[in-house]
Homo-oligomer: A and B are copies of this chain.
Amino acid sequence: MPIDPLKLRQVSVFEQATDEDLKLIAQHSIERSIEEGEFFFFQGDSADYGYVLISGRAKLTQMNATGQQVNLRTIHEWEMFGALGAVRENAMYPASAQALEHSTALAIKSDYFHDFVQTRPYISFGLMKLMTGYIQEMQERYRELATEKVERRLARTLLRLTAQMGVKHADGGIELAFSRQELAEMSGTTLFSASRVLSEWEKRGLLESGRERILIRNPHGLVQIAEESGE
């Protein structure tokens, strides 16, 4: 069942698009559903499609020569990703996109999207806003990684996640569904260090945690950790 084109208005890139535009995009794209763990594309693939995530969650990861993975960002519903093919000719994806759960995305041919954007400056600006946002985020994360300790980075990761997708729990806490492994990858550390830090925080009453689940009790305490001077 094809999606309602007007729903695409939720995608930040298409904020200023006309109804007509959205219909065109919907017509010229195909839906791809994949299971948890499968890939929309791999690092190094020819960037022939741009994607809009319709449902589920995905992560962008990059591997180095020896196979170690780094998590670059998590993609949520109605986010656009892998769009660089529309900008550069013969580009390759610089990262892989893997589904964290059963996910569906709209795939738009890069050639078509290129021409589409070219005649619609408001879409260009949408794309550029997305890109400048990426750049800022990556710059900040780079600085964090270079100058800050694991504890601080983890605190920030949790805060970022609560802001993006935290679910208010009945009794006031905020719940997140991530494994220690995932949190570690997002913070640039290891499963073990992440686990240790979370245990410590649990002792201090900042949060409760379980299997693939974190319940944040005291976000303000996390902010303090994220912000406190190198002391």
Q: Which residues of A contact B (CB under 8 A)?
A: 62, 64-66, 68, 70, 72, 84, 87-88, 91, 94-95, 117-119, 121, 124-125, 127-129, 131-132, 134-136, 138-148, 188, 227, 229-230
Contact = CB atoms under 8 A, between A and B. Distances in A.
Given A70-B147, A121-B118, A139 B94 contact: yes
A64 B147 contact: yes
Nearest to A94: B136
A169 to B, nearest CB: 30
Contacts of A147: 64, 66, 68, 70
A146 B143 contact: no
23 contacts: A65-B227, A65-B229, A66-B230, A70-B143, A70-B147, A72-B142, A72-B143, A84-B135, A84-B136, A87-B129, A94-B140, A95-B139, A117-B124, A118-B125, A124-B124, A124-B128, A127-B128, A134-B135, A135-B138, A138-B138, A138-B142, A141-B142, A145-B145
Nearest to A136: B94
- Shortest beta-carbon contacts, A-B, top 8: A138-B138, A124-B124, A131-B131, A146-B188, A87-B128, A70-B143, A68-B147, A84-B132
Nearest to A71: B146
Nearest to A131: B131
Nearest to A72: B139
How many of these chains are in the complex?
A: 2
Contacts of A124: 117, 121, 124-125, 128
Nearest to A130: B131
Contacts of A62: 139-140, 143
A68 B145 CA distance: 12
A135 B131 contact: yes
Contact of A70 (B131, B134, B135, B142): B142
A142 B142 contact: yes
Contacts of A142: 70, 72, 138, 141-142, 145, 188
A152 to B, nearest CB: 10
